[in-house]
Chains A and B, each alone.
Chain A
Amino acid sequence: MCLAIPGKIIELLDDNLAMIDVSGVRRKVNISLIKHENVNVNDWVLIHVGFAMNKISEEQAKEQLQLLAEIGEEQEALAEVKGYQFE
């Protein structure tokens, strides 16, 4: 159910196939399931049993990491404000 890994498209081939690269390992993957999206070389996709299931959004990945990096900052800011003892 669950083992799917990110890979980068390095070449588009015939017959709904693409050559992808995972850390230097190359594999032909079927892209029938994501044909409707605009698939290009250098896109990153999620691969499961030899099929690309979806494109990976770099933007969303960055956003998520950013959210996590900001955890605690709100608390720190609050703590600092409390420290000023405005009341």
Chain B
Amino acid sequence: MLKEKIAFREPTIQLAHGAGGKASRRLIEGLLAPYLNVSELNDAAYVQIDQAQIAFTADSFVVNPLRFPGGSIGELAINGTVNDLAMGGAKPLAIVATFIIEAGLETEILEAEIKAMHEAAEKANVAIVGGDTKVVEHQKADKLFITTAGIGLVDSRVNLSAGRVKQGDKIILSGPIGDHGITILFARGELDLEADIKSDTRAVWPFVSKLIDAAAPGLKWMRDPTRGGMATALNELARDAKVAIMLEEEAIQVNPEVRGACEILGLDPMHIANEGQFIAVVSEEYADAALKAIQQVPGGEQAAIIGEVLESDRHIVLSRSSYGGTRAIDMLVGDPLPRIC
């Protein structure tokens, strides 16, 4: 059972509870986790089967629209599951997927998704071994919901735990942030904006695998900054590890179009979802080797050390600009909302 008790007192479940920020955390920690057998909240759970440690994860995908530049819901489902297992230090082995389909959905849409899932699974070297299908009445589901469960074999060289993170550890980010969330926002068509932006969805196991080879003893914690973005992932680290984090603003890469979109809408890239990036906390000793290992895998060239862990009573995340000003980075309550003021 979780050590800290957070009460969940809201009478109804709202959209904010699913946005990945503070409200989500309250729901999970306050209402759900107390009934689960978990000591730490991570992307994947560990289950011991005789000598082997298996990573076990579940995920759900409710994206709208179903297809967008760079990918689709099916690809997200496979990559997202693979990535959760990778974050647990496990080589992804098998996935099962369930479809909840709204009656009236065009067959070609479902076919396109199962094909996309097949391709993504091949690329990620993981097997889709089964699943389930349900069809619900019109308007009882938003076209198509996909849920997955995945298992992987935990690499015996890794020991991942927030408790191991301490002062001096370095924080590595695999690549530019914000692409996925902004792509989805544009793809909804509500904005009068156009740009060459596409989702960064990809399986990160190839990077993690090399990272483990090069730096396993120094690798302490990993997370993929999906819904809620970097702000959520890093604040969770600060809270779970009971440390403070200092980031160097200049080291965090943001593609120019993503930056432009964020400026126009008044959004912060740190709050935007990513589907192809991950954060790794590595001891100072192993940080350079870890970084090089990621950079040498095609697609990892933009990986960088973006900050470090500091000992502190305040479990917060700070970001330092090139001229020395620091600002605090907090989790949002719900989804990031564009602003005009």
Asked if B340 and A24 sit within 8 Å, CB to CB, the answer is no
Shortest B223–chain A CB gap in Å is: 28
Q: Which residue of B lies closest to A27 (CB)?
A: B193
Residues of A within 8 A of B263 (CB): 5, 22-23
- How many residues on chain A are close to B (CB under 8 Å)? 15
Shortest B171–chain A CB gap in Å is: 26
Shortest A46–chain B CB gap in Å is: 12
Q: Which residue of B lies closest to A7 (CB)?
A: B264
Asked if A3 and B266 sit within 8 Å, CB to CB, the answer is yes
In the complex, A23→B194 CA distance in Å? Answer: 11
- Contact of B10 with A by CB under 8 A: no
In the complex, A22→B191 CA distance in Å? Answer: 14
For A1-41 the 0/1 string (1 means CB < 8 A from B) is 11101000000000000000011111110000000000000
Partner pick for A26 among B194, B340, B341, CB 8 A cutoff: B194
- How many residues on chain B are close to A (CB under 8 Å)? 16
Shortest B116–chain A CB gap in Å is: 27
Known contacts A23-B259, A24-B257; A5 and B264 CB within 8 A of each other: yes
Residues of A within 8 A of B192 (CB): 27-28, 50
Asked if A22 and B341 sit within 8 Å, CB to CB, the answer is no
Which residues of B244-268 are within 8 A (CB) of A? 256-257, 259-261, 263-264, 266
Asked if B261 and A25 sit within 8 Å, CB to CB, the answer is yes
Shortest B207–chain A CB gap in Å is: 26
Residues of A within 8 A of B4 (CB): none
- Contact of B195 with A by CB under 8 A: yes
Residues of A within 8 A of B9 (CB): none
Asked if A22 and B264 sit within 8 Å, CB to CB, the answer is yes
Asked if A27 and B194 sit within 8 Å, CB to CB, the answer is yes
Partner pick for A22 among B260, B266, B340, CB 8 A cutoff: B260
In the complex, A21→B315 CA distance in Å? Answer: 40
Asked if B341 and A1 sit within 8 Å, CB to CB, the answer is yes
Residues of A within 8 A of B264 (CB): 5, 22, 25, 27, 47
Asked if B260 and A48 sit within 8 Å, CB to CB, the answer is no
In the complex, A79→B260 CA distance in Å? Answer: 44
Residues of B within 8 A of A25 (CB): 193-195, 257, 260-261, 264
- Contact of B190 with A by CB under 8 A: no
